[in-house]
Amino acid sequence: MKLTHLDEQDRPKMVDVTEKDPTVRIAVASGTIQMSREAFEMIVSNKTKKGPVLQTAVIAAIQGAKQTPNLIPMCHPLMLTSVKVDVIELPQLPGFKLEVTAKLTGKTGVEMEALTGVSVGLLTIYDMAKAIDKSMVISDVRLESKSGGKSGEFKR
């Protein structure tokens, strides 16, 4: 299989999507953060010193998705039409799961935007709660599904 981010002389390049047809593209990514019971309870009850952790994480996830081409060298700048963030409480862990859905009509997919959004959202939770628990673990950041484009559907 030939790598698409290398030219004929094996130099890095951005993939040329000029000739591709625009389609509706949707990607869903998720990840989790595990923490102490104390940190979980303080976040859920909005009693952390840094303010509303989950609301800030949602904003950070959206911002992260929008900034993807500035962070990942070969990503195209995309005109996202929607970024939706869901935070799921996991009291049994204890911790949280973030799900980010990125959407657009365009010539290239939004998987990296969804994955970056999840990563930045989870890192924001860590940042805002690290004074309570430095041993938090971010894990299972992954693509859950994608649709649109030449490669078609993917569902984990």
CA distances to 16, 77, 81 from 84, in Å: 28, 18, 10
Is residue 127 flagged as an active site residue? Answer: yes
Question: In the sheet where 154-155 sits, what is the strand order?
Answer: 82-90, 95-106, 23-34, 137-147, 154-155
Catalytic residue among 86, 127, 133, 140: 127
How far is Cα 17 from Cα 44, in angstroms, rounded to an integer? 44
How far is Cα 132 from Cα 53, in angstroms, rounded to an integer? 12
Q: What are the catalytic residues?
A: 127
